[in-house]
Amino acid sequence: MTTGTTAPDPDAAPTAPAAPDPEPHARFFSTGRAQVVDEHDGVLWDALSGLTEGGKRFRPTLLLRMHEALGGTDRRAAARVADAVELLHTAFVVHDDVIDGDVVRRGRPNVTGTFTARAVTAGATPDRARHYGEAAGILAGDLALAGAVREVALCGARPEQVVQLLDLLEEVLHRSAAGELADVRVSLTGDASLEETRDIACWKTAAYSFELPMQAAAILADADEQVVEALGEAGRCLGLAFQLRDDLDGVFGTAEQTGKDPLCDLREGKCTALVAFARSSRLWPELARYVGDPHLTEEGAARARQILVACGARSAVEAMAAELAASAISATRRLPAGAADALRAMVHRLVPVEPTQTDLPGSLLATAPVLPAADDVALAGPAPAPARGAA
């Protein structure tokens, strides 16, 4: 596998059902703008709306494809819940930017950056301007979160299905909050274990990006509880594999491939599985000079990448991603034929892995939450296509 070659856009499958509504969140933003109370409130809604533009919207696509594959017929309810999932993603993105101190998203000012700049223009000090920007980010995220819950509640599904969906959403919100808190906590010391990085990825990424849309699809399609559970297990494995690939791309990819600065993760000292594995190697003392260095140069980053390869961290994480992808595929044995085919296609497109190391070290295998591997699982998917970028 050539890390940095990101997964193809799942929207590109030629046999896929119709993509999500081309004008997502129409009701949410039209209602919000109709209730604007002043100029500043209007700018807040404009800034929030700007964050929903672009991106691949793979979460709602997962939901709609799985809903159709399971024989679901209420396309309107599924579309509204799919829209809610993407609105939830927007809420998390806005809050995550506040937590991480980011003022730019996809190459332009995010909500925090927009309002920080407005405050500076108005004459505020840098600290007070930043505080104003962060307040705007928190409030915008809250609005999007409330909108997502409302979309689920009013999706038009049967009452018992809506209750199941809201219960699922509540569980996912709980785990996502726990994952975000854990992510910030481990960043204080930078010494997260491999198991901790796995747990954080499960809570922060797998729960709402994979488990939620696929299980919601099953609920809306009146699938058996066994199918709902199988999709949850598959979502955890697929979400973890996806995050591992993203971590690899964040270090070994280029700006053109990923849409972000290739030095960002190393400068931040991000506690990824790559770093957790490398910390136990004899090469860690040298690597530690580069990880977390805010002034890291291109030359230093190149040396850090060499060390991550030499100590086996890169091949180990690639192997773990492959193992998790195989585990997600093994879950198809508990699904109806159409849903099994859809899930296998999703795995191939989202995590097209060609591991350079086929066997996981014992310590890695022990912490990977894998299902029994299927016999002769073929992971060769379609040829890699454009960068994953910012989802």
| pLDDT per residue as tens digits for the range 277-294 | 999 999 999 999 999 899
- The residues, any chain, with a CB within 8 Å of residue 376's CB and separated by 6 or more, are none
Residue 375 confidence class, pLDDT cut points 50, 70, 90: very low
Reply yes or no on whether the pLDDT at 317 is more than 70: yes
Q: What mean pLDDT is predicted for residues 346-350?
A: 90
pLDDT of residue 285: 95
Rounded percentage of the chain residues whose pLDDT exceeds 70: 83
Fold for domain 17-156? Farnesyl Diphosphate Synthase (1.10.600)
Q: Determine contact, residues 152/162, Cβ cutoff 8 Å.
A: yes
Size of the chain, expressed as the number of residues it contains: 391
pLDDT of residue 143: 97
pLDDT of residue 18: 44
Average predicted confidence (pLDDT) for the chain: 84
pLDDT of residue 108: 86
pLDDT of residue 145: 97
DSSP H/E element including 308: helix 298-310
pLDDT of residue 258: 67
| Domain range annotation of the chain | 17-156, 159-385
Reply yes or no on whether the pLDDT at 57 is more than 80: yes
Burial 246-260 (b: 16+ CB within 10 A, else e): bbbbbbbbeeebbbb
Q: How do residues 3-53 score in pLDDT, each as one tens digit?
A: 443 343 444 443 344 444 446 688 899 999 999 999 999 999 999 998 888
pLDDT of residue 7: 40
Look up residue 16 and give its two tokens: 């896929």
Q: How do residues 89-136 score in pLDDT, each as one tens digit?
A: 999 999 999 998 888 887 789 999 999 999 999 999 999 999 999 999
pLDDT of residue 53: 81
Q: How do residues 216-257 score in pLDDT, each as one tens digit?
A: 999 999 999 999 999 999 999 999 999 999 899 989 987 777
Residue 87 confidence class, pLDDT cut points 50, 70, 90: very high
Cα gap 318→333, rounded to integer Å: 24
**159-385 has the same fold as 17-156:** yes
Residue 284's Cβ-count burial label (10 Å; 0-12, 13-18, 19+) is middle
Q: What mean pLDDT is predicted for residues 178-200?
A: 88
DSSP characters for 53-119? SSS--HHHHHHHHHHHHTT---HHHHHHHHHHHHHHHHHHHHHHHHHHT--EETTEE-HHHHHHHHH
Reply yes or no on whether the pLDDT at 261 is more than 50: yes
Rounded percentage of the chain residues whose pLDDT exceeds 90: 67
Q: What mean pLDDT is predicted for residues 252-267?
A: 78
pLDDT of residue 104: 85
pLDDT of residue 353: 56
pLDDT of residue 14: 36
Q: How do residues 139-168 score in pLDDT, each as one tens digit?
A: 999 999 999 999 999 999 999 999 999 999
159-385 is a CATH 1.10.357.10 domain: no
Q: What mean pLDDT is predicted for residues 172-179?
A: 95
